[in-house]
Structure 1
Amino acid sequence: MIAQLTARPVRAGLSALVLAVLVAGWLRNPLRTDMAAVLDGPSAQHPLGTDELGRDVLARLAHGAPLTLGAAGAALLLSVLIGVFVGGLTGRSGGRIAVLVRGLIDVAVALPPVLVAIIAGLIGGPGRITLVFALVSVGWLPFARQVDAQVAAVRGEPWVRAHEALGASPVRVLRVSVLPAVLPAVGALAVVRLPALINTVAALGFLGLGPPPPSPEWGAMLAESVDHLETAPWLLLAPLLAVLAVQTLLAGTGRTDHRPT
């Protein structure tokens, strides 16, 4: 309890700090170059310093947030929708087809998303759509497996059988009786997986599979910082700390307080 009470103001302060940084950065131009201020350290004019082209790191960090977080959010939403649809069908219907789909899911869930993204990048070229597609191609599998197990567990419950006895169609039974009991757990899984998705998006951007330059995507910023680690360490620290801050905030949001009843 004491740890939770202590963590709340910490997360609140971190949230305020992240919001202030983003707002301040949005007021600046992330593409404006200044060759007289190349690799300048943090100062009043450039609070997070400048990069190798004299661009303001704070501006690039703020304008890159929608690219990184947006790609992770879009991939998560599509993964949830596909996973709920497939898992709902297999868990509700059963039979040989459901067994086959479950076997394919169990095999495919072991595929690392980075490897899938690299293959997708080689086929479709780097870009935001390729990045999201790569994440969704494996991201829906855990949701499908979870929904399938939960739907199979609740389909024999009395309220489900009551709806079936009243003549409700299988689709209506699934939508009205089954999914409302399943979706809270799906939401919890989504919150847990979002920080990892953000980390994966940044990693793929670092590998050059995200939006191409001069995009200020956080992973691309990390890649650009490699050549200046000794002379300009702030180029690495700014996007790295941004990713860690967002992950910390989301991890705090995803915690639940389990109390005995």
Structure 2
Amino acid sequence: MRRAWPGLLGAVLLVLLVLGLTGDPLATDTRDVLRPPSTGHLLGTDELGRDVLARLAHGALATLGTAGAALAVSAVVGLAVGAATGWRGGRGAAVGRALVDVAAAVPPLLVALVAGLVAGPGRTTLLLAMVAVGWLPFARQADALTAALRTRQWVLAHRALGAGTARIWTRSLLPELLPTAGSLALLRVPALVNTVAALGFLGLGTPPPAPEWGAMIAASVDHLGAAPWLLAAPVVALVAVQTLVSALPRDDGS
């Protein structure tokens, strides 16, 4: 039963997502303002009479989509930079590692806040700001692994046989780097989703009236007493995503 509950939770969320995507997240109805959950509106309606389930489902595409895109770009950039510095070695690589360490100390939320305030709110600004710091952990990991791998006997043997750098990378290094990068990406999913939601809460994400989980939480604050389901829906969704990610198997056997 313990192993089955993540699948059950995922199935429930998938059903709700499909049902929500069939609705219009922007359709308003002044006759159905702040209605509690019912058969007509499974998660109730908001202050404009919009269906909360429809907004939650379409907001999942915005929140999770932005986090996923930022994660994918960050992983590619980080792997490329880290593998390059780890393979090269020397003083230049040492300087690059020092710069990466300094940049990694800057809170990602702070970078995203500054970018949002300078360039204005929007998904593109948010994505670029998250990638600007999101690639650093991947670079540090790839650098350390590549530096250790390039002195292995089988890599030295490939070099002695005349194999080029591109062939060694594609045939030998990438198969070693990708599994660990995948595990790191999985670990970073909850933090990235929370960052997207936090910036949406602060008004720096996708502009309204487009649905987004952080913006939904912000809009619910003024109606906590009359309509607690407005806050409960996106918060439970965020917790569910993190719960599912934590239940996924990893290389360490957890």
Band the TM-score falls in, shorter-chain normalisation: over 0.9
Question: After superposition, what is the alpha-carbon deviation per residue over 1:112-156, rounded to whole angstroms, capped at 9, x for unaligned?
Answer: 111000110112110001111111111100000000000001111
Whole-angstrom CA distance in 2 between matches of 1:176 and 1:99 = 26
Whole-angstrom CA distance in 2 between matches of 1:257 and 1:159 = 25
Whole-angstrom CA distance in 2 between matches of 1:255 and 1:87 = 22
Q: Is 1:236 matched with 2:231? A: yes
State the match for 2:204 in structure 1.
209
Contact 2:183 2:250 in 1 (8 A): no
State the match for 1:68 in structure 2.
63
State the match for 1:151 in structure 2.
146
Q: Is 1:121 matched with 2:127? A: no
What is the identity percentage for the equivalent residue pairs of Structure 1 and Structure 2? Answer: 59
Contact 1:40 1:51 in 2 (8 A): yes
Contact 1:38 1:50 in 2 (8 A): yes
Whole-angstrom CA distance in 2 between matches of 1:96 and 1:171 = 23
State the match for 2:245 in structure 1.
250
Whole-angstrom CA distance in 2 between matches of 1:149 and 1:171 = 19
Q: Is 1:218 matched with 2:213? A: yes
Q: 1:138 to 1:254 in 2, by over 3 A?
A: farther
Whole-angstrom CA distance in 1 between matches of 2:197 and 2:185 = 18
For these two proteins, the number of residue pairs brought into alignment is: 254
Shift of 1:19: 0.6
Q: 1:257 to 1:101 in 2, by over 3 A?
A: closer
Spell out the pairing of 1:25-64 with structure 2 (5 A cutoff): 25-64=20-59
* TM score, norm. by length of structure 1: 0.94
State the match for 2:95 in structure 1.
100
* Alignment counterpart, residue 187 of structure 2, candidates 187, 192, 197: 192
SS in 1 for 2:46: coil
Shift of 1:255: 4.1
List gaps (5 residues or longer) in structure 2.
Answer: none
Moved over 2 A (4+): 254-259
State the match for 1:3 in structure 2.
none
Q: 96-105 or 247-256: which moved more?
A: 247-256
Contact 1:126 1:212 in 2 (8 A): yes
Q: 193-202 or 82-91: which moved more?
A: 193-202
Shift of 1:174: 2.2
Whole-angstrom CA distance in 1 between matches of 2:2 and 2:105 = 34
Q: 190-199 or 250-259: which moved more?
A: 250-259
Question: After superposition, what is the alpha-carbon deviation per residue over 1:149-207, rounded to whole angstroms, capped at 9, x for unaligned?
Answer: 00001111111011101112223222221221121111111111111111111111111
Contact 1:188 1:254 in 2 (8 A): no
* Alignment counterpart, residue 183 of structure 1, candidates 178, 186, 189: 178
* Alignment counterpart, residue 163 of structure 1, candidates 133, 158, 161: 158
SS in 2 for 1:7: coil
State the match for 1:136 in structure 2.
131
State the match for 1:111 in structure 2.
106
Contact 1:79 1:136 in 2 (8 A): yes
Shift of 1:257: 5.8
Whole-angstrom CA distance in 1 between matches of 2:93 and 2:84 = 8
Q: 1:85 to 1:68 in 2, by over 3 A?
A: same
Contact 1:191 1:254 in 2 (8 A): no
Shift of 1:231: 1.1
State the match for 1:174 in structure 2.
169
Whole-angstrom CA distance in 2 between matches of 1:66 and 1:72 = 10
State the match for 1:77 in structure 2.
72
Whole-angstrom CA distance in 2 between matches of 1:181 and 1:257 = 15
* TM score, norm. by length of structure 2: 0.97
SS in 2 for 1:28: coil
List gaps (5 residues or longer) in structure 1.
Answer: 1-5
Aligned AA (1:212)? P
